Structure 1
Amino acid sequence: MHFKPWLVYLVIGFLGLVPLLMAMLAGAVANCTKCQLSEAGVGPCVIAGKDVGKMLYAMFVSGWFSLITLPAALLATLIYSVYLLVGR
């Protein structure tokens, strides 16, 4: 099966950026709700009567996975580019 190259690049890029995007989203939510967000530990953050501090903390700390996913996405992009060049 042959995929459109731009779609494959888009998926690779998105998968590489997901942890970073999650950390940025957690920071934005914490900023908007005036909650304290830190890597040092979970802080309380009540939104609509529910404490989402643990979820925001997990999302924020997942940003560290981008140290793995970004280089992996770059490597996957290079490998796919070579595959396209050799295949034509």
Structure 2
Amino acid sequence: MIRRRTLLLSTVLLICLAPAVSMFWASWFAERHDCILHEGYSNPCFVNGKDWGDTLYSAFVMGWLMMLTLPLAATIALFFALKAAFTLIRRVLRR
């Protein structure tokens, strides 16, 4: 049961961090290929004959979702930290 809960919380934590990863990837990709990227509107970005502008714009604007998901991610990370601290204290007190 505990492992299932840990797996569930880890999965939720990764999902919560996905918008941040998406935004950082879009920024990195646009900078690497000298494309213009901002939240106003999509700009054309041709790489190897394919226009990545709409994809980059969508991935970058996904960063706004972080305002909802990062507090949840912080709460889950705090839960993991407290769980680890209590486990460590319990082990020290048993010895």
Q: TM-score, normalised by structure 2?
A: 0.70
- Matching residue of 1:39: 39
Provide the C-alpha distance between the structure 1 equivalents of 2:79 and 2:27, rounded to a whole number of angstroms.
33
Report which of the two has the higher share of helix: 2
Given the two structures, how large is their TM-score scaled by the length of structure 1? 0.75
What is residue 84 of structure 2 aligned with on the other side?
Answer: none
Provide the secondary structure at the position in 1 that maps to 2:73.
helix
Task: Calculate the aligned-residue CA RMSD, in Å.
Answer: 2.7
In percent, how many aligned pairs have the same letter?
Answer: 32
Unaligned runs of 5+ in 1: 82-88
Per the TM alignment, residue 77 of structure 1 is displaced from its structure 2 partner at its CA by 5.8
Q: Which string of whole-angstrom CA distances, capped at 9 and with x for unpartnered residues, describes residues 7-46 of structure 1?
A: 4443232111100110000000000000000111111100
CA contact (8 A) 1:9 1:77 kept: no
Report what 1:60 is aligned to: 60
Q: Which residue of 1 aligns with 2:19?
A: 19
SS of the residue aligned with 2:14? Answer: helix
Q: Judge conservation of contact 1:12–1:77 (CA < 8 Å) in 2.
A: no
Task: Give the match's secondary structure for 2:39.
Answer: coil
Gaps of 5+ in 2: 82-95
**Higher RCO (C-alpha 8 Å, min separation 6):** 1
